Amino acid sequence: MNPVECSYRFRFYPTTQQTDLLNRTFGCVRVIYNRARTLREAAWKERKERCGFTQTNAMLTALKKQPEFVWLNEVSSVPLQQCLRHLEAAYQRFFHKRARYPQFRRKDSRQSAEFTKSGFTYRNGMLTLAKMKEPLAVVWSRVLPGEPSTVTVIREPDGRWYVACRVTASIKPLSGGSAVGIDLGLTNLAVLSTGEKIANPRHLSKRQKRLVREQRRLAHKQKGSRNWTKAKLKQARAHAAVRHARQDFLHKLSRRLINENQVIAVETLSVEGMLRTKRHSRAIADASWGELLRQLNYKAAWYGRTLVQISRFYPSTKTCSACGATGHILTLADRAWVCPHCGAHHDRDHNAAQNILAAGLAVTACGGDVSPGVPRHPGQSSVKQELMP
């Protein structure tokens, strides 16, 4: 059994008093986060001093003693301190070039507040937050494997309330299974080395008409009016429908691939670079290749599977999976081709998936990375070959 930290998300329905308290908590968290970010930025620009969690926490203590900020004492202090830790983590990710510069928190976006063990009680399936007299009406769709270590209350832009519980669960590794190579694309979201083609559901394209209609109606409303607020809520629900459908599909697909295969070979994609291509950027974002690879990565670690990512410059499309000859000239319109060396007939995506599997098995057996069969020329693009004009 592998002990792993995972998060379980449930929907809940707060009462009027709970809604008021949570909204005030979100406002306090937002004020403290933005003030701490301003303090850190001013300290560096004016005095070239580094300001960390210790300094911002002292700022919070002094702020709560001022008469004009006495309302900060009406909510739990736990989420206020946690937002300062989140700001520190955001700066660390920026310093290590893993994320962009921390932004201010907005009032009209997704709101969240994190509670540690000192800020909530969990007994007999009842979750009660600090400063609350009644437990939250949580819809427990599954049983928690243990007591939560942290609880995050979330209010989405569509008006729905969620609670995310982080727990330590014991997951039994899976045994058995075969090996598979996966070639990602747009016409088919994934083509497996077994020949199976998984169609691209195109969640955004299917709901694009509704999104356009709601965005047009929102643009015609006076900003800040009651009708504008109603139209914005409808727009947020239209976006949530796309997001939920996409997440549900990707979770089911990734779990199925993990259950059936011991070794999964995929190509390393520069999704950020491919999104710069204006012609296919919307379709690439709708396919969510990066999210699929992320789910395969952590689920493979949970269940004892092997996920191999080969080099993005490996010529999987232009290599014959039968004889190994490479360097064939193919255009985007060539969905099927015949190898001039051995005469083998190939489906473009199936052949690429077979080559990815072979490269992944080579990495598993020998270790290291897979170098491309043809040299990379200076200035060669990192864009997926199927998307190049």
Strands 150-155, 111-116: pairing is antiparallel
Degrees to nearest 5, angle at CA 286 with 281 and 287: 100
Sign of the Cα torsion 117, 57, 163, 226 reads: positive
Q: Which of 302, 360, 308 is nearest to 174 (CA)?
A: 302
Boundaries of every domain in the chain: 3-170, 178-366
Catalytic residues: 183, 267, 349
d(CA 81, CA 169): 26
Closest CA to 132 of 143, 148, 119, 149: 119
Rounded Cα–Cα distance for residues 8 and 252 (Å): 16
pLDDT in tens for each of the 389 residues of the chain?
778 899 999 999 999 999 999 999 999 999 999 999 999 999 999 988 889 999 999 999 999 999 999 999 999 999 999 999 999 999 999 999 999 999 999 998 999 999 999 999 999 889 999 999 999 999 999 999 889 999 999 999 999 999 999 999 998 999 888 999 999 999 899 999 999 999 999 999 999 999 999 999 999 999 999 999 999 999 999 999 999 999 999 999 999 999 999 999 998 888 888 888 778 899 999 999 999 999 999 999 999 999 999 888 888 888 888 888 887 777 777 788 788 878 788 888 898 899 999 988 888 877 655 433 333 333 444 455 555 43
CA-CA distance, 209 to 370, in Å (whole number)? 43
Q: Which of 332, 341, 329 is nearest to 374 (CA)?
A: 329
CA atoms within 13 A on the CB side of 286: 20
Q: pTM of this prediction? A: 0.86
